[in-house]
Amino acid sequence: MTKSSTAERSEMRETSQNSTLSLQQVVGILNNTFRLKLVGLLATQGYSLGELSSSLHSKTSLVARHLKKLQQLEIVTLSDGHKQRYELNLKALQGFQQSLLASEKNIVSPLEETILEDEERKVLKSFFTGSRLTTIPAGRDNLAILVQWFARRFIVDRRYQEAEVNEVIEQYYHDAAFFRKDMVGRGFMRRENGVYWRVR
């Protein structure tokens, strides 16, 4: 084994041990067409880096970069031995699947809240399907109601890192930046040095 490959595997172990990835980050890594193709190939058998590159008609460096992301999740492992092969870790993949299902069950539909005003409930009913916001309303009043609802997902005066704000918003809508900026712009939250807190 070369020094470079030894260093790379050491780096991967360190990343796995020292970083706790949120479920949202896991989904972000897996939400990539190229990586899903890799998972599909490895679901059938083990492959060397060269074989994967040939099967996907892609440069070795590109394949290696995406494999590294999958190794970070421990979904893909690299076997020891003279001819190293990448293999799919089905146990880890099933674990993420179970976590996703559990997460979805824990996210309550906005319409199940008991503190909603009639107008607020009407707006949420129009733009939510289950726990997911499906579209942004064109009307200013309706949008203001939605932004206020998102602001209430946060505790007044508690400090949140930007990644934490994104994770909360993305439970309901894919574009966290849209509502994150609007909550600040409308005075529901404040931001300083990448830290956010709700003020009303």
The pLDDT assigned to 113 comes to 67
The pLDDT assigned to 75 comes to 87
pTM (2 d.p.): 0.49
- DSSP-assigned beta bridge partners for residue 132: 129
The pLDDT assigned to 141 comes to 93
Q: Per-residue pLDDT tens, the chain, 200 aa: give them.
A: 444 444 444 444 433 333 445 555 666 677 788 888 998 899 899 999 999 999 999 999 999 999 998 888 888 999 887 788 999 988 887 777 666 655 555 555 676 665 678 888 899 999 998 888 999 999 999 999 999 999 998 888 999 999 999 988 988 899 999 999 999 999 999 999 999 999 98
Domains of the chain and any CATH numbers? 3-104 (1.10.10.10), 108-198 (no CATH)
Q: Which residue has the tokens 């996703």?
A: 100
The pLDDT assigned to 19 comes to 41
- Percentage of the chain modeled with pLDDT above 90: 45
For the chain, the distance separating the N- and C-terminal CA atoms, rounded to the nearest angstrom, is: 58
The pLDDT assigned to 133 comes to 92
Per-residue burial over 152-180, b = 16 or more CB atoms within 10 Å of its CB, e = otherwise = eebeeeeebeeeebbbbbbbbbeebeebb
8 Å CB contact between 198 and 157:
yes
The pLDDT assigned to 191 comes to 96
Distance CA 139, CA 142 (A): 5
